[in-house]
Amino acid sequence: SKELEDMQAQQTKDIKREIKDLEKTIKSLTADIETLEEKLPEAIRGEFAFSVDKLSAIISDKESLKKEKEIQKKSLQKQLEEISLQSNELMTFVEAMPKWNEIFSQADLQTKQMILSTLIDKIIVKDDDITIKFKIRLDNFLDEKLLENDGLDVPQQRLQLYDHVLHGI
């Protein structure tokens, strides 16, 4: 869970930085549009380097780019909200997962062997290293979690996130 929190904090930081950059770009485009619109009367009188059509086309392009950047900003803000929601859901999920150390320490020898065979895929022992490959899958806990939550399901996209995280650790 600590690694997940760090990962989500980094994602949040990156998204906030992108939003800040987009806001600067939007502000700059807004200033450009205002400046160009102020030049329209001069262009109409023929006192500006660009024709009215050319100036209108430039303004239109800048407005389109500004709208595109605003859409990107909204999308990033939505992602930020989703990350926050995922973080809250993940913490709830982690708290609901079985505490294997407690279960294991209170179990008899046969139960301990069964727990180990259920949790551990293989153990690799080398001269200076021991590697334990776990075979824990989210699917193993889903049915139990549904029973604990009176049949309320965890959204599928959240399951994919949790499954990815559990297998990546």
> Which residue, chain included where needed, has tokens 């086309």?
57
Q: Where are the alpha helices (DSSP H) in 39-51?
A: 40-45
Q: Is the per-residue pLDDT at 139 higher than 80?
A: no
Q: Which of 73-77, 121-125, 165-169 reaches the highest mean pLDDT?
A: 73-77
Of 68-77, 79-88, 106-115, 123-132, the range with the highest mean pLDDT is 68-77
- The owner of tokens 């690799």 is 124
- DSSP-derived 3-state class of residue 128: coil
Give the Cα-Cα-Cα angle 65, 71, 73 (nearest 5 degrees).
105
Write the CA distances from 150 to 53, 61, 96, 107, 153, integer angstroms.
Answer: 65, 54, 13, 27, 9
* pTM check: above 0.75: no
Rounded CA-CA distance 75/55 in Å is 30
- Supply the pLDDT for residue 22: 96
What would the pLDDT profile of 82-106 be if each residue is shown by its tens digit? 888 877 777 776 676 667 677 778 8
